[in-house]
Structure 1
Amino acid sequence: MGSRLIPALLIGLLLVLHAQLWFGRGSVPQVASMKQQLAERNLINREAQQRNNSLAAEVRDLQEGLDMVEELARQELGMVKPNEIFVQIAQGKP
């Protein structure tokens, strides 16, 4: 009887471990599902990062464009900001 008890116990243990592998927490199907979800989230994150980069570039372009307009207005039209004093120095011919 003792010679049959050990193999039966080992087979039972093997069945429990096998059931855990397929149906328990951290099972093969659950890990595969989580990998799929991770791949989808990574794709969504990459797309969002591209949109963010595009918007940041657009903001930079707008800021630089406004800086250029302000510089041209100052040089060509002599415009000044509030609380600024504009001083123009004329150079005479020698």
Structure 2
Amino acid sequence: MRTLTLILLALLGTIQYHLWWGKNGLAEYHEAQANVNRQMDDNELLVTRNTLLYREIDDLNKGLAAVEELARNDLGMIKPGETFYRLLLTDKLPTNKPLP
């Protein structure tokens, strides 16, 4: 009877080892689940980015306002008859301190 108990305990230990740390065990399952969750988060970000790109493409195809805005911002377009003012902001204002 004692030998049977030891054999059953050894079998139970082997099964538990394979369940927790063996190939296709719980450790690999949790790692795979974390990879799936990370990939789903990445996919959501890419879907959002693609949606914005499709909106911009649609806007560029349908309207001239977006094309004009891109030309003004990226290429510095100024229409004939327009006056362009460029404002430069300084971080520090000059002070009138006497030099020692």
TM, length-normalised to structure 2:
0.58
RMSD value over aligned CA atoms? 1.3
Q: Which runs of 4+ in 1 moved over 4 A?
A: none
Q: Deviations for 1:14-66, whole angstroms, at most 9, x for unmatched residues?
A: 01101101211122222222121111111111000100010001111111115
| 1:5 positional shift | 2.6
Point out where structure 1 has 5 or more consecutive residues left out of the alignment: 67-94
Larger radius of gyration: 1
User: Which residue of structure 2 aligns with residue 49 of structure 1?
Assistant: 47
Q: Percent identity between the aligned chains?
A: 25
Alpha-carbon distance between aligned partners in 1 of 2:36 and 2:46, rounded to the nearest angstrom: 15
Is 1:33 aligned to 2:31, yes or no? Answer: yes
SS of 1:49's equivalent? helix
Q: Provide TM-score, normalisation by structure 1.
A: 0.61
Count of equivalent residues: 64
- C-alpha distance in 2, partners of 1:49/1:11? 52
